[in-house]
Amino acid sequence: MIPPHIPHCWSFDEDICDKEGKIENICIFFSDVFLKNNGIVFPELEAVIKRIMEHSQAISFGGSGLSAMQRIVKSMIRQNKVERLSSMIRLLPLIAQPEIANTVGGPVVEDTNDKRMQLLQLYVMNNFQNTITLDMVSKFIGMEKASFCVFFKKMTKTSFFSYLTEYRIEASCKLLLNTSLSVAEVCNASGFSDVPYYNRVFKRLKGMTPTQYRTMSTKNV
């Protein structure tokens, strides 16, 4: 459970992906208004709602309570709106008083520079497959191009385009390992428009060609 205003992202181990490198997860979003209204409509839930709203930390669940939550959440996929509301109400007591709960995160006080870097990382994550120019990224972050270059170099000790290139290469590695796409298709899907250039950059950063990387990794499995 992740309360409001807690920065977060999801990451998954490679061995839980399917053959195409894809994963599936289910998220349920609910607001303070939803909780408060349930407390008003159902007085029996008032104490439960209060305990949930007191949580300020991100929590991971365990034990039989987690199993019960998973069964309810999975059943909601096939339910109509009324049935889902009923299931959600069944979830609330399990969330409020979990059998096993571990704190996994909390509110973070961020300065302006950290916030800008987070926005930049999200921008790259969502757009690395496409053309990204210095003008585009500096406008996105709200800075002049020269100021942006100085800012990024100060924060990361590298240039933005070096960072972007390394990110694209790492993304291409995942595609080489987890898909049957050709090297040319991996090149395009990773944001590179020229296969020979992609091969040269890959070899410079990884010490081998994309084909050699895929072959070596396959042999090691």
Domain residues for the domain of 38 are 14-105
Which of 162, 115, 164 minimizes the C-alpha distance to 141?
A: 115
Residues 58 and 76 in one domain: yes
pLDDT tens figures, 72-94: 999 999 999 999 999 999 999 99
Count: domains in the chain: 2
For residue 172, what are its two tokens?
């291409």
In a domain, 9, yes or no: no
Question: 198: domain CATH number?
Answer: 1.10.10.60
- pTM score above 0.75: no
For residue 12, what are its two tokens?
């998954």
Of 105, 120, 136, the residue at which a domain comes to its end is 105
pLDDT of amino acid 110:
64
Residues 40 and 116 in one domain: no
Distance of CA 206 to the CA centre of its chain: 25
Residues 50 and 135 in one domain: no
Residues 116 and 216 in one domain: yes
In a domain, 89, yes or no: yes
Which of 79, 94, 3, 110 minimizes the C-alpha distance to 48?
A: 94
In a domain, 167, yes or no: yes
pLDDT of amino acid 55:
85
Backbone φ, ψ for residue 59 (5° rounding): -130, 140
pLDDT tens figures, 153-178: 999 999 999 999 999 999 999 999 99
